[in-house]
Amino acid sequence: MTDAPSLALRYVACDACETVFARAGAAAASEACDRCGARALRELADVRGPDAYFSP
């Protein structure tokens, strides 16, 4: 089960303000940045679950 996504969260990064967000749902990358409003969010597809991103 280590490859199963946690709570179906998807991680997206805003290259404009260098912020990472956890979003729920399939359309996470098409939403605007919560911080600066930029629409070019990039999905971090290789991140599975919260520990994978926030752990070294």
- Note whether 18 and 25 are within 8 A (CB): no
| pTM of the entire predicted model | 0.61
| pLDDT score at 16 | 94
| pLDDT score at 51 | 55
Tokens of 35: 């911080």
pLDDT in tens, 8-44: 678 889 999 999 888 876 666 677 888 999 988 888 8
Over residues 44-54, mean pLDDT: 64
Per-domain residue ranges of the chain: 9-54
